[in-house]
Amino acid sequence: MIDPSRLLERFLRYVQVDTTAREGQATYPSSPGQLELGRILLGELRELGLTDAVQSDKGIVMATVPATVDRKAPVVAFNAHVDTSPETTGAGVRPQVVRDYPGGDIPLPGNPAAVIREADNPDLRELIGSTIITSDGTTLLGADDKAGLAVIMETVATLMEHLEIEHGPLRICFTCDEEIGHGVDHVDLDALGAIACYTLDGHGTDEIDVETFSADLATVVVRGVNIHPSIAKGKMINALRVAADFLARLPRETLAPEVTSGREGFLHPYQMQGGVAEVSLRILLRDFDSSKLAELAERLRTAAGESEQSFPGASIEVRITPQYRNMAEGLAREPRAVEFARQALLRLGREPRMTIIRGGTDGSRLTELGLPTPNLSTGEHNPHSPLEWTCLEEMAQAARMLVELVRIWGEE
């Protein structure tokens, strides 16, 4: 029932809209392309017959696929986000479609230095003969999370075309600015009205993400004293040197993302700006155990105090902002959310894998707010990178899984 050609057309259409999220913007969403893509999705939902489809002034798109069963059935929701990561530009995406992938490395036509190497992407070895989609190597592709958008839209189209599929009410929710931690800031959970939700924002195929990092953001402001360098002796306090000293005090052998894996947490400085008078740093705090975030924050404050002692007259302010929490505890309150996803894959003859994410999704915050929301595979690979790619067959498999999932919920 799923139409792979139509699914591919949707995906290629969506990735060519620049929806790069922008940190530090006063507007929501943070970039106009997110509103533009939301309007496109709104129009397509209405064309499919979802008469209640709306887009809020914040860009959130919601709609309902009506139930096809007479009995009262639980309301569930599917979610994806329209924005793409600010780490690599999403402007001017020129997708490359590799049909009947023969195996081996995939060169990207826009950048001779950009090659998706099979050795670095072992999943490719299982996808010979499949359709692989990449960027041209000068931008990201945007499969995170436009693969999710396309999968959900193809699922909606299939359900609206095949009314013989029995299911309960299905709510659709497309969010903005997930990549900068604000995906559900303006989602009205009462209006959504679901008992469980699923984010379509996952790696590869057959994975059900049941845990995410817990996450805080540290903003560190280093203040020095600026004066003309010709008369700086005994007077200047260079905030850049203080910031460098502070960063050097953070554990690099045990708590950096470059050296951690699995369930290990980290501190990740990822942005620095400023000059002699003042430097601003942004640092990610991540761990699967939420209580350990306080320990990471204390490490930052300890390093700040030591640097202040080494540079008398300098000051370092550490501000911690909560971002999201591990979804595991919240999912336990509605075990059907994970169990029915597992059953859907089994009915399709697939082998479900319960996995963890060294990151977060809108589902992390939705679960924290009381709406259990595991994350499902959507064919994403190498997100946030010019080497990002996706597989059409994996996206189609995700759509088939969603159809089976709503069937199972409709049996309740």
Options 44, 83, 145, 393, the catalytic residue: 83
List, in sequence order, every residue forming a beta bridge with 354; answer none if it has no partner.
208
Q: Is the Cβ–Cβ distance between 330 and 367 less than 8 Å? A: yes
Residue 3 falls in the annotated catalytic set: no
List, in sequence order, every residue forming a beta bridge with 170; answer none if it has no partner.
65, 76
Please report, for the chain, how many H helices and E strands are present, in that order.
10, 17
Sequence-distant (6+) residues with CB within 8 A of 119 are: none
Residue 179 falls in the annotated catalytic set: no
Cα 145 to Cα 199: distance, rounded to the nearest angstrom: 10
Q: Tokens for 169, please give them.
A: 């009410």
User: Residue 145, preceding bond cis, omega within 30 degrees?
Assistant: yes
Q: Is the Cβ–Cβ distance between 323 and 360 less than 8 Å? A: yes
Q: What is the DSSP letter of 84?
A: B
Cα 44 to Cα 46: distance, rounded to the nearest angstrom: 5
Q: Is the Cβ–Cβ distance between 20 and 83 less than 8 Å? A: yes
Options 144, 177, 178, 393, the catalytic residue: 178
**What CA–CA distances, in Å, run from 149 to 126, 176, 274, 290?**
24, 12, 38, 30
Q: Tokens for 330, please give them.
A: 């919240």
Catalytic residues: 83, 178
